[in-house]
């Protein structure tokens, strides 16, 4: 038995000792839910804990264990879990009857106005929908509808949700390049029409545009890679992307579903000074509810307006729960708060991010383990509350999605499985080795978190050295 098997065995035993009720809940769940749940990231092995409640930085499971949580609702909960500010208002709304009606109501106007203002105004228009997956899918459809072209360019390691157009080049460990099949159920034709390029590689971008620029509908990119490693785009890369897309008549789409209102009370596009043609927002903007948005230049967004001939119009219009008035109200409170308190919120989150990333790297270094923590800002992003831990093989660099997602370059199992369980056993919940600090994380939470990484590093040394 290898050291990692022994360590896994030890951690599974410790985890099971503490989580008997979650285990029973999972056995029941497995009988009726696929793999026991509805989202694979939430379904870690041997089984997930079941949450009984969550407030601020913490989540409590059904066995009474408490965890400092950095998953924070898929990074949506920048104020922490169940913030009193939003809860109070929503409770009052519900008291007056705020369940679904299917009519237009005012809060969506205010939320759209706020977003347009924060994104620099001009001729922007917004349409709301209910998930990031849908927002990016509609953005691609708008681009294809407008340009009449059928190729879509995305980043290797970029996750934009599971729409057929963008479910390619998500995983690296399946093959040497980007071309592995990430999912069954996607027509060959669509698979072929999605092209993949390397993040922050302006020359590769230029080559692709030279060869295929006149067939490309859009280039979609996260200004700050999420699942692909919490890595910021360089200013130079996004500027070049803007120039190339403009030159070739291709739409530039920013996926700001993680980055929107995460680093500043606006999108990263404002900080980079690069205005995309379309952008997708989600997560934070819903104040804990299912809200996403496509924002874009009026002339492009008109592509989904009625009055166009059939076939010339993008049918971005369904959505039983789109712009649900309670969700819109929650989003408005959230963004209003972030804008009003930006001067204290964002610098503090950035300072905490720096301290946490450095503390984690130090904790591993003290045990002779090479662990790197991404998530820092750069020449444009002034600071960051995100952190992701990696265990590079043989001192390799950790600067691209390939580095962090390819098991030959980084030890993925150690991060995704072993580190996760070790931290849970020490009272900390992370995803992909890290997560997002929220406004409700206190200094003592961060200290406790660094201690938990330190205890984990000691275990790694004991079992893996
Ligand atoms: C950058 C990015 N885009 C799109 C999505 C998809 O959003 P959703 O899960 O709301 O469909 C995600 C989800 O994590 C994301 O991180």
Distance CA 382, CA 403 (A): 24
Report which of residues 209 and 178 the model is more confident about. Answer: 209
In whole numbers, what is the pLDDT of the chain averaged over residues? 95
Is the pLDDT at 257 greater than 60? The verdict is yes
Contacts of 134 (CB under 8 A, 6+ apart): 161, 163, 292, 319
Tokens 């996750």 sit at which residue?
159
Label residue 1 by pLDDT band (50, 70, 90): confident
Measured in whole angstroms, the distance separating CA 377 from the mean position of its chain's CA atoms is 16
Ligand 1 centroid to Cα of residue 158, in Å, is 10
pLDDT in the model for residue 318: 86
pLDDT digits (tens, 9 = 90+) for 133-182: 999 999 999 999 999 999 999 999 999 999 999 999 887 654 445 556 78
For the Cβ of 259 lying below 6 angstroms from any atom of ligand 1, the answer is no
For the Cβ of 258 lying below 6 angstroms from any atom of ligand 1, the answer is yes
pLDDT in the model for residue 179: 55
Label residue 371 by pLDDT band (50, 70, 90): very high
Taking CA atoms, 26 is separated from 8, 13, 31, 91, 300, in Å, by 20, 16, 9, 31, 46
* Lowest-pLDDT range of 151-155, 399-403, 437-441, 453-457: 399-403
pLDDT in the model for residue 176: 46
pLDDT in the model for residue 63: 98
* Lowest-pLDDT range of 316-320, 362-366, 373-377: 316-320
What is the position in ligand 1's atom list of the atom closest to the CA of 131? 10
Nearest CA to ligand 1 atom 3: 160
Ligand 1 centroid to Cα of residue 355, in Å, is 27
Is the pLDDT at 443 greater than 90? The verdict is yes
Nearest CA to ligand 1 atom 7: 132
Ligand 1 centroid to Cα of residue 133, in Å, is 6
Is the pLDDT at 126 greater than 90? The verdict is yes
Distance CA 327, CA 118 (A): 19
Distance CA 413, CA 101 (A): 46
Per-residue exposure over 300-317, b if at least 16 CB sit within 10 Å of its own CB, e if not: bbbbbeeeeeeeebbebe
For the Cβ of 129 lying below 6 angstroms from any atom of ligand 1, the answer is no
Write down all domains in the chain, each with its CATH number in brackets.
3-82+342-464 (3.90.1150.10), 84-340 (3.40.640.10)
Is the pLDDT at 445 greater than 70? The verdict is yes
Distance CA 375, CA 225 (A): 9
- The answer to whether residues 287 and 332 touch, using CB atoms and an 8 Å cutoff, is yes
For the Cβ of 257 lying below 6 angstroms from any atom of ligand 1, the answer is yes
Report which of residues 443 and 184 the model is more confident about. Answer: 443
Nearest CA to ligand 1 atom 4: 160
For the Cβ of 158 lying below 6 angstroms from any atom of ligand 1, the answer is no
Nearest CA to ligand 1 atom 13: 161
For the Cβ of 163 lying below 6 angstroms from any atom of ligand 1, the answer is no
Is the pLDDT at 88 greater than 60? The verdict is yes
pLDDT in the model for residue 183: 87
For the Cβ of 223 lying below 6 angstroms from any atom of ligand 1, the answer is no
85 half-sphere exposure, CB direction, 13 A CA radius: 20
pTM above 0.75, yes or no: yes
Distance CA 198, CA 298 (A): 30
Ligand 1 centroid to Cα of residue 162, in Å, is 8
Mutate to test the pocket of ligand 1, among 73, 130, 199, 258 (most ligand atoms within 8 A of CB): 258
For the Cβ of 133 lying below 6 angstroms from any atom of ligand 1, the answer is yes
What proportion of the chain, given as a percentage, has pLDDT over 90? 91
pLDDT in the model for residue 173: 52
Ligand 1 centroid to Cα of residue 135, in Å, is 9
- The answer to whether residues 263 and 382 touch, using CB atoms and an 8 Å cutoff, is yes
Mean pLDDT value of segment 433-454? 98
* Lowest-pLDDT range of 81-85, 245-249, 305-309: 305-309
Mean pLDDT value of segment 114-129? 97
């Amino acid at each position: 038995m290898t050291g990692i098997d022994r360590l896994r065995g030890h951690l599974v035993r410790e985890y099971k000792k503490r989580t008997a009720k979650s285990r029973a809940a999972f056995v029941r769940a497995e009988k009726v839910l696929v793999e026991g749940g509805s989202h694979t990231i939430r379904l870690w092995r041997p089984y997930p804990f079941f949450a009984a409640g969550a407030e601020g930085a913490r989540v409590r499971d059904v066995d009474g264990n408490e965890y400092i949580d950095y998953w924070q609702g898929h990074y949506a909960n920048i104020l922490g879990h169940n913030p009193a500010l939003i809860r109070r208002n929503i409770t009052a709304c519900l008291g007056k009857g705020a369940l679904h009606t299917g009519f237009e109501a005012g809060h969506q106007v205010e939320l759209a106005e706020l977003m347009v203002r924060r994104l620099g105004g001009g001729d922007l228009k917004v349409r709301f929908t209910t998930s990031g997956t849908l927002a990016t899918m509609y953005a691609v459809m708008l681009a294809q509808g407008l340009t009449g072209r059928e190729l879509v360019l995305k980043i290797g390691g970029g996750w934009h949700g599971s729409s057929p157009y963008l479910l390619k080049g998500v995983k690296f460990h399946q093959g040497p390049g980007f071309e592995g099949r990430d999912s069954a159920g996607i027509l060959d034709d669509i698979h072929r029409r999605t092209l993949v390029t390397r993040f922050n590689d302006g020359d590769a971008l230029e080559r692709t545009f030279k060869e295929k620029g006149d067939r490309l509908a859009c280039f979609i990119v996260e200004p700050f890679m999420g699942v692909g490693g919490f890595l910021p785009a360089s200013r130079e890369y996004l500027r070049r992307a803007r120039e190339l897309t403009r030159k070739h008549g291709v739409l530039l789409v920013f996926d700001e579903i993680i980055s929107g209102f995460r680093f500043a009370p606006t999108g990263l596009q404002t900080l980079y000074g690069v205005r995309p043609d379309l952008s997708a927002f989600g997560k934070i903007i819903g104040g804990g509810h299912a809200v996403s948005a496509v924002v874009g230049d009026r002339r492009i967004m008109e592509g989904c307006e009625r009055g166009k001939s059939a076939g010339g119009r993008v049918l971005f219009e369904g959505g039983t729960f789109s712009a649900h008035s309670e969700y819109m109200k929650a989003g408005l409170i959230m963004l209003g708060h972030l804008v009003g308190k930006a001067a204290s919120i964002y610098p503090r989150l950035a300072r905490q991010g720096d301290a946490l990333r450095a503390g984690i790297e130090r904790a591993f270094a003290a045990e002779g383990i090479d662990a790197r923590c991404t998530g820092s800002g750069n020449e444009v992003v002034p600071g960051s509350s995100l952190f992701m831990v990696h265990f590079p093989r043989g001192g390799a660099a950790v600067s691209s999605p390939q580095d962090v997602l390819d098991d030959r370059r980084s030890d993925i199992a150690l991060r995704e499985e072993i580190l996760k369980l070790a931290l849970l056993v020490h009272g900390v919940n992370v995803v992909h080795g890290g997560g997002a600090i929220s406004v409700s994380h206190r200094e003592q939470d961060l200290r406790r978190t660094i201690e938990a990484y330190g205890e984990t590093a000691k275990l790694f040394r004991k079992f893996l050295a």
